[in-house]
Amino acid sequence: MYAATRYVARGVIMRFLLPTVLLACTGEADLPGSHTGGVEDSGALEPEACGYTPAPDLDAAEGVVEVDLTASAFPWDPGTGVPLTEGVAYNESVPGPLIEANVGDTIVAHFRNDLSEPLTVHWHGIRLASDMDGGMQMMEPIQPGETFDYVFTVPDAGFYWYHPHLAGAKLIERGLHGRLLVHADDEVPADCDLPISLDDLLLDEDTLQVAPVDTDMMQLMGRLGNVLLANGRSDRRVALTAGQTVLLRLVNPSNARYWDVYVEGQSLQVVATDGGWIPEPYAAESVVLGPGERATVQFTATGSPGEEVRLMNKRFQLHEEGGDMIEYDPLGNGENPVLAFVFGEGSVAGTPWVQPSVPAMPYSGPTETLGHHWVLEEDMMGGTVTIDGEAWPNVPVVDVAAGVDTTFEIENKSEMHHPFHIHGNNFQIVAINGEPPATPQGWKDTWDIPPRSTVTVVSDLWNPGDWMYHCHILEHAEDGMMGEMMVE
Ligand SMILES: [Cu+2]
């Protein structure tokens, strides 16, 4: 029976995945479970209602959100019809449960490690106490079969995510990541509020299983996938009605892929970044998200009954112009569909979008206090990545004073982009190569450092603690592009 099921499933894949893999080299790749075919021939999923289902709150009290969170092996299906035998997940769901809270709530997450290796949970972007942050220097890893209660307050409305901070390159790729959504007090719900994890997966073309990291180059450049996933599947379709106000809350849990996304025929407005709602929303043709980054975009759905409009990903060039790594991406130079919106009958007068109010961003440029000037380097020949000439754990610790407006410069001397993530505090980008950024800014915890560029950021260092910082290309973090900052 099992074999027969597999055989049938495999037939579906032969029809839909193989064109993907074969066409990938030409830049005209289509995804498994193609969005372009009709329902009968594509085998695509039925359109889902737009929205999300939060994790059940086990505590009825106001102001406390209590959840169970178990990491275990879980053979999930990325949309190929073939479950990943090495798949892992939180609560047998990819992405893991969406934890929903209001600003100021206390989160209680009863974590259980049912995997065979030690784990921590890092709450990416949350300004919490550093002994709850899941960084490796501040807590003992949770051993297989053991439990730990993460308890922390969420001080900022925004869209966050969580993931392991040990063996992240392997485990996040295989499905171990989830979202944490913190609402502002004055948020007016959109008609369609859709959190989307934009992930990629590198599958072996023959087995459709997670491909091993079998080359030094893949380790050095970061692992780019050949299948694009929206919320863990390559074939999602979401129902829309013309006129609806749509909010897409985007997070990038990919190991190394920078996404550059837009929705066909829709006018996007960026309304939030990593640390929540921004003071000045702005129109954008597409939105770039490096690994670890989030952005929320809003649009009023425009389309006719039966029409499909797709969330598309454009190729982002990870290396500087003229670099010889252009062909490294298995998806090539083309644009690829990620998810399809399917318009139903009729239209509605949508709920008008109201931007939640937030204070203006405080900084107009660098402050007097320079906390540190970091230098990121990558030695292609030697196969190493470093910060300030060293690899974790030998990168010198940065010591800065809490509560002081402090400027940091990150200089990237390498030929490729690096997404720089600092735990525990929020930052405002004030300059890129000495020039003010081109778009209005919001709070960030992860941001791009372009090749041969210097990015200047400022933080009030509101949150004292012992914090990790690192490149969020997970292979780079594990190869040592990571350090520690003491804020005291
Ligand atoms: Cu990097």
pLDDT in tens, 111-143: 999 999 999 999 999 999 999 999 877 778 999
> Across the strands, what pairs with 413?
none
Average pLDDT, the chain: 89
Cα 116 to averaged position of ligand 1 atoms, centre (Å): 28
Give the per-residue pLDDT at 226.
Answer: 94
Interstrand relation of 465-471 and 418-422 (parallel, antiparallel or unpaired): antiparallel
Cα 377 to averaged position of ligand 1 atoms, centre (Å): 9
Q: Are residues 319 and 257 in the same domain?
A: yes
Tokens of 16: 């839909």
Cα 393 to averaged position of ligand 1 atoms, centre (Å): 16
Cα 325 to averaged position of ligand 1 atoms, centre (Å): 15
Q: Are residues 270 and 380 in the same domain?
A: no
Give the per-residue pLDDT at 119.
Answer: 96
| Residue 40 banded pLDDT, cuts 50, 70, 90 | very low
Closest CA to 124 of 426, 413, 429: 426
In whole angstroms, what is the distance from residue 359 CA to residue 278 CA?
9
Q: Are residues 374 and 340 in the same domain?
A: no
Does residue 304 belong to any structural domain of this protein? yes
Give the per-residue pLDDT at 447.
Answer: 98
Does residue 394 belong to any structural domain of this protein? yes
Cα 375 to averaged position of ligand 1 atoms, centre (Å): 12
Does residue 200 belong to any structural domain of this protein? yes
Cα 153 to averaged position of ligand 1 atoms, centre (Å): 30
In whole angstroms, what is the distance from residue 348 CA to residue 240 CA?
10
Where residue 198 sits, what CATH number does that domain have? 2.60.40.420
Cα 257 to averaged position of ligand 1 atoms, centre (Å): 11
Q: Are residues 195 and 282 in the same domain?
A: yes
Cα 287 to averaged position of ligand 1 atoms, centre (Å): 20
The H or E element spanning position 295 is: strand 294-300
Q: Are residues 299 and 374 in the same domain?
A: no
Does residue 59 belong to any structural domain of this protein? no
Cα 472 to averaged position of ligand 1 atoms, centre (Å): 6
Of the three residues 315, 347, 379, the one that is the final residue of a domain is 347
Does residue 393 belong to any structural domain of this protein? yes
| Residue 44 banded pLDDT, cuts 50, 70, 90 | low
The H or E element spanning position 10 is: helix 2-24
- How many separate helices (H) and strands (E) can be counted in the chain? 5, 29
> What would the mean pLDDT of 34-44 be, rounded to a whole number?
39
Of the three residues 312, 347, 382, the one that is the final residue of a domain is 347
- Tell me if residue 467 falls in helix, strand or coil: strand
| Residue 381 banded pLDDT, cuts 50, 70, 90 | confident
Domain count along the chain: 2
Kindly give, in sequence order, each residue whose CB lies less than 8 Å from that of residue 280, ignoring residues fewer than 6 positions away: 440
Cα 476 to averaged position of ligand 1 atoms, centre (Å): 5
Cα 429 to averaged position of ligand 1 atoms, centre (Å): 18
Cα 279 to averaged position of ligand 1 atoms, centre (Å): 30
Range of lowest pLDDT (19-33, 62-76, 201-215, 358-372) = 19-33
Does residue 50 belong to any structural domain of this protein? no
Cα 206 to averaged position of ligand 1 atoms, centre (Å): 30
Q: Are residues 196 and 313 in the same domain?
A: yes
Does residue 315 belong to any structural domain of this protein? yes
Q: Are residues 312 and 196 in the same domain?
A: yes
Q: Are residues 320 and 215 in the same domain?
A: yes
Cα 468 to averaged position of ligand 1 atoms, centre (Å): 15
User: Residue 319 carries which DSSP code?
Assistant: B
| Residue 326 banded pLDDT, cuts 50, 70, 90 | low
Q: Are residues 378 and 330 in the same domain?
A: no
- The CA–CA distances, whole Å, from 333 to 151, 166, 415 equal 44, 32, 18
Cα 27 to averaged position of ligand 1 atoms, centre (Å): 25
In whole angstroms, what is the distance from residue 310 CA to residue 34 CA?
11
Q: Are residues 230 and 330 in the same domain?
A: yes
Kindly give, in sequence order, each residue whose CB lies less than 8 Å from that of residue 382, ignoring residues fewer than 6 positions away: none
Q: Is the pLDDT of residue 376 over 50?
A: yes
Closest CA to 71 of 144, 180, 160: 144
Q: Are residues 402 and 335 in the same domain?
A: no
Closest CA to 413 of 376, 381, 441, 380: 376
Please report the DSSP string for 198-219 in residue order. Answer: EEEE-B-TTT-SBPP---HHHH
pLDDT in tens, 416-458: 999 999 999 999 999 999 999 999 999 999 999 999 999 999 9
Does residue 329 belong to any structural domain of this protein? yes
Q: Are residues 207 and 316 in the same domain?
A: yes
324 or 113, higher pLDDT: 113
Cα 254 to averaged position of ligand 1 atoms, centre (Å): 13
In whole angstroms, what is the distance from residue 113 CA to residue 91 CA?
11
> Which residues form the domain of 294?
190-347
pLDDT in tens, 451-472: 999 999 999 999 999 999 999 9
Of the three residues 295, 313, 347, the one that is the final residue of a domain is 347
Cα 478 to averaged position of ligand 1 atoms, centre (Å): 10
The answer to whether 450 and 417 are in contact (CB under 8 A) is yes
Cα 67 to averaged position of ligand 1 atoms, centre (Å): 33
Kindly give, in sequence order, each residue whose CB lies less than 8 Å from that of residue 14, ignoring residues fewer than 6 positions away: none
